[in-house]
């Protein structure tokens, strides 16, 4: 665990830079942009990562159902499934032109934090996969705990989902 903390901090730092850079450089708006400006810059599975998403494929857009998108690009494990759900959550309207929505961030945070999401990798043969899964899950928890997001009930941005 002690080794995860600096790693998580690095992810948060990198993503904070990326988020603010996006906020100033790129006009906010457009489904493709806000869908792709999520999470940490590293990739995990088919759905986890800054530019890692199935949304935008011919068989998966925001007009498709979550089942259709899952069939279009199957998540590789339970953590990847959480990322799929998060991406689909960001499709919800309104408003469409925000980068992060507190209820999506809260959901993914609560589903991953302290969960058994990586325990599907059991036994010594899966030790590496489990470590990769746990590391990525920890970085997501750290990231989403400190990510400014749009709060629907307050109709404004707040420092993180727990301020919503």
- Print burial letters for 119-142: b (CB count within 10 Å at least 16), e (below 16): eebeeeeeeeebebbbbbbbbbbb
In angstroms, give the least distance from the CB of 162 to ligand NAG.
Answer: 4
Q: Residue with CB nearest ligand NAG?
A: 145
Interface contacts to ligand NAG, rule CB under 6 A: 145-146, 159-160, 162-163
Judged by beta carbon, residue 56 or residue 145, the one nearer ligand NAG is 145
Find, among 41, 14, 35, 50, the residue nearest to 88 by Cα: 35
In angstroms, give the least distance from the CB of 138 to ligand NAG.
Answer: 13
| DSSP symbol at 112 | H
Judged by beta carbon, residue 106 or residue 129, the one nearer ligand NAG is 106
What's the gap between Cα 134 and its chain centre? 15
Judged by beta carbon, residue 109 or residue 121, the one nearer ligand NAG is 109
């Amino acid at each position: 665990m002690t080794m995860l903390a600096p790693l998580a901090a690095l992810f948060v730092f990198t993503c904070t830079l990326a988020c603010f850079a996006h906020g100033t450089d790129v006009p906010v708006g457009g489904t493709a942009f806000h869908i792709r400006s999520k999470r940490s810059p590293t990739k995990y599975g088919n759905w986890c990562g800054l530019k890692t998403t199935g949304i935008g494929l011919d068989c998966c857009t925001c007009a498709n159902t979550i089942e259709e998108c899952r069939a279009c690009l199957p998540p590789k494990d339970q953590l990847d499934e959480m990322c799929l759900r998060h991406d689909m959550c960001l499709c919800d309207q309104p408003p469409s032109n925000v980068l992060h929505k507190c209820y999506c961030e809260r959901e993914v945070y609560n589903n991953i934090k302290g969960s058994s999401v990586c325990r599907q990798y059991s036994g010594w043969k899966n030790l590496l996969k489990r470590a990769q899964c746990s590391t990525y899950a920890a970085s997501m928890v750290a990231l989403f705990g400190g990510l400014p997001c749009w709060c629907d009930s307050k109709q404004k941005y707040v420092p993180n989902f727990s301020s919503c």
